């Protein structure tokens, strides 16, 4: 069963909710270090500006029952990797465990293959992030590699997992 969610453009009107939800170590602790913690208004403003203007990163606000619940983005790679995009996402903690991100990943993947000149989408969850691995598997992604201690996050080495989905051609 697929949930009814909407993937919408980011706007400044979402700033307060963005900062409220993104300022969470349980989210930041599973993201790259470019996701700030603490997450304050200036960071939120910069993010929304980036999401609105980037040519290579396609970032959408996730809405569930009419309210902002998270973010999902496809980041086009460059040079010889330019037919690939990296998928990243986070969900506000009050909404975890309802299948929202599985639905968002499925929809964003379909959107990416339709609207971007790419043949492969990949995501790189931490080996410790079982919920994210489950999301990717439920959305039809396959595990390509496990790189031992590929990431160093908050002073600890963790495995880097590479999941991907390929465009049907």
- Non-local (6+) Cβ contacts of 34 within 8 A are none
Q: Between 27 and 46, how does the x/- string for binding to ligand COA read (CB under 6 A)?
A: x--xx---------------
Report if residue 134 touches ligand COA, rule: CB under 6 A.
yes
Report if residue 161 touches ligand COA, rule: CB under 6 A.
no
To ligand COA, the closest distance from the beta carbon of 102 in angstroms equals 3
Report if residue 85 touches ligand COA, rule: CB under 6 A.
no
Report if residue 102 touches ligand COA, rule: CB under 6 A.
yes
Give the phi and the psi of residue 58 in degrees, each rounded to 5.
-105, 105
Let me know: does 159 contact 148? Beta carbons within 8 Å. yes
To ligand COA, the closest distance from the beta carbon of 70 in angstroms equals 6
Between CA 100 and CA 103 the distance in angstroms is 5
C-alpha neighbours within 13 Å on the C-beta side of residue 26: 8
Between CA 90 and CA 29 the distance in angstroms is 11
Instruction: Name the segment binding ligand COA (CB under 6 A); options: 57-65, 89-97, 110-118, 146-154.
Output: 89-97
Judged by the rule CB under 6 A, the positions of this chain that interact with ligand COA are 27, 30-31, 89-91, 96-102, 123, 125, 129-132, 134-135
């Amino acid at each position: 069963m697929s949930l009814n969610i909407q993937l919408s453009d980011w706007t400044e009107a979402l700033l307060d909710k963005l900062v409220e939800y993104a300022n969470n170590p349980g989210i930041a602790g599973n993201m790259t270090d470019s996701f700030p913690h603490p997450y304050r208004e200036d960071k939120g403003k910069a993010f929304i500006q980036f999401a609105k203007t980037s040519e290579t990163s396609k970032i959408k606000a996730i809405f569930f029952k009419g309210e902002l619940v998270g973010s999902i983005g496809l980041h086009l790679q460059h040079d010889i990797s330019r037919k690939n995009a990296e998928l990243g996402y986070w969900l506000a903690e009050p909404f975890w465990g309802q299948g929202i991100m599985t639905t968002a990943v499925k929809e964003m993947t379909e959107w990416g293959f339709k609207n971007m000149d790419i043949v492969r989408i990949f995501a790189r969850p931490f080996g410790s992030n079982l919920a994210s691995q489950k999301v990717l598997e439920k959305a039809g992604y396959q595990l390509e590699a496990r790189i031992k201690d590929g990431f160093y996050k908050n002073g600890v080495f963790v495995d880097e997992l590479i999941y991907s989905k390929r465009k049907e051609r």
